[in-house]
Structure 1
Amino acid sequence: MKIAEIFKSLQGEGVRQGTPCIFIRLAGCNLACRWCDTQYARSGGTETSCDKILEEIWKENPRSVCITGGEPLLQTDVLLPLLASLHKRGITIDIETNGTIDFSPVQPFAAVCMDVKCPSSGERSDLSLLARIRPTDSVKFVVGDLADCRYAQEVLARHAIAGECFLSPVYGTDCDTIVRFILDNNLPVRFQLQLHKILGVK
């Protein structure tokens, strides 16, 4: 599969924020979000075998692995054997996806975090996929302004989402406005800053 990088860090967002994690960042993406912070992973990458990836991961003896991108589900077919091997070892697996590709094939092995694209991103997710979110999965709205907040509010009102939902500001955005919107509208979300950006780590 095409790999952009593999690294160890603290999980910066989501339900496991703050925990040590091995990140496998796959290369290639089918979107071009305006505020993308990993543009280097949108193309390119190094072709790497499943065995080679596992060899590198076993050295770290991780409790948690996060598969991210780019958009990792563009490589679902070759990703599944890797997920099966990690799952067999009892490793907690999270997959971050932009919500444009069916993630059902990976759910037996991993928790899914679906990033619902808001208007400021310039892209759209497939909202029908929200029906496939389980209590162990999660949904993230990255918001840059009040229009994004209102869009997230509409999505939450129209879809019964089984997993936890997060509202996360685009890095550098005025957080006070977003927090006030959450409070004024009693949104069923958890406000979350990107910890890795605050700490200055990957």
Structure 2
Amino acid sequence: MIVSEIFRSLQGEGKNQGRPCTFIRLAGCNLRCAWCDTPYAREGGEEMSVTQVLDRVWLLRGTHICITGGEPLLQREDVLKLLEKFSLHGYTVEIETNGTCDFRDMQPYASICMDVKCPSSGEKSDLSLLSFITPRDCVKFVVADEDDLLYARAVMSRCEIRGEVFISPVEGSDYRAVADQIVEENLPVRFQLQLHKILGVK
């Protein structure tokens, strides 16, 4: 598999925000989001075997793993092998995905955090995948403005989402305006600032 980096940090978003976590960031992505915070992971990376990845993770310690990217599900076969190994060793795993690749074969081994792309990103997710989200999983909308919030609301009204939904303002946007609109419309979401950006960590 092609790995951009493996490191320890705090989980910055989603259901496990604030928890110490080992991140496996895979290289390569099929999207070019306007507000991507890891453009370096779109290309390059280091070729590593599943065993080498496991060894690196073991040395870093910790039992919570996040497989992210880029778009990790572009390396589906290797990710599945990795997940099978992690399940044997008692790790808890979550996968962050951009909502363009089917994740159902990953769900027996990992929770899914699906990032639904809003208009300001310049990209689109496959909304049909939302029907496969379970209560164990979550969905994230990163919003830059009112149009993005309107889009998120429209998606939630059209699609049944059984997992928890997070709204995260883009760094530098009007956080208070987003929060106020969520309260005013009583949206069934959790407002969440991206912790890793506030702390200046990965």
Structure-2-length-normalised TM-score: 0.99
Identical residues among aligned pairs (%): 60
Give unpaired runs (5+ residues) of structure 1: none
Partner in structure 1 of residue 127 of structure 2: 127
1:138 match: 138
Which segment drifts farther, 52-61 or 2-11? 52-61
Q: What whole-Å deviation, never above 9, does each CA across 1:69-104 have from its counterpart, x for those lacking one? A: 000000011111111111111111000000000001
Task: Tell me which residue corresponds to 1:87.
Answer: 87
The reply to whether residue 172 of structure 1 matches residue 172 of structure 2 is: yes
Give the secondary structure class of the aligned counterpart of 1:37.
coil
Q: Distance in 1 between matches of 2:82 and 2:61?
A: 15
Aligned to 2:55: 55
Distance 1:184 1:153 in 2: 13
Deviations 1:19-54 (A, max 9, x none): 100000000000000000100001111111000010
Q: Secondary structure at the match of 1:147?
A: helix
1:33 is paired with a residue whose SS is coil
> 1:12 aligns to what?
12
Structure-1 residue corresponding to 2:115: 115
Q: What SS does the corresponding residue of 1:14 show, helix, strand or coil?
A: coil
Q: How does 1:21-36 map to 2 (within 5 A)?
A: 21-36=21-36
Q: State the SS of the aligned residue for 2:99.
A: coil
What code does the residue aligned with 2:165 have? C
Q: What is the deviation of 1:191?
A: 0.2
The residue type equivalent to 2:69 in the other structure is G
The equivalent of 1:151 in structure 2 is 151
Residue 182 of structure 1 is matched in structure 2 by 182
Q: Is there any run of 5+ residues in structure 2 with no aligned partner, and where?
A: none
Over the residues paired in the alignment, what is the CA RMSD in angstroms? 0.6
List per-residue Cα deviations over 1:100-126 (Å, max 9, x = no partner): 000011111000000000000000000
How far apart, CA to CA, are the structure 2 residues paired with 1:38 and 1:11?
15
**Given residue 54 of structure 1, which amino acid in structure 2 is its aligned partner?**
L
Flag as ranges the 4+ runs of structure 1 deviating above 3 A.
Answer: none
Deviation at 1:60, TM superposition (A): 2.5
Aligned to 2:104: 104
Please report how far the alpha carbon of residue 154 of structure 1 lies from its aligned counterpart in structure 2 after TM superposition.
Answer: 0.4
2: CA distance between counterparts of 1:56 and 1:78? Answer: 16
In 2, Cα distance between the equivalents of 1:40 and 1:111? Answer: 25
How far does residue 58 in structure 1 lie from its aligned partner after superposition? 1.1
Question: Which secondary structure state, in structure 2, belongs to the residue aligned with residue 29 of structure 1?
Answer: coil
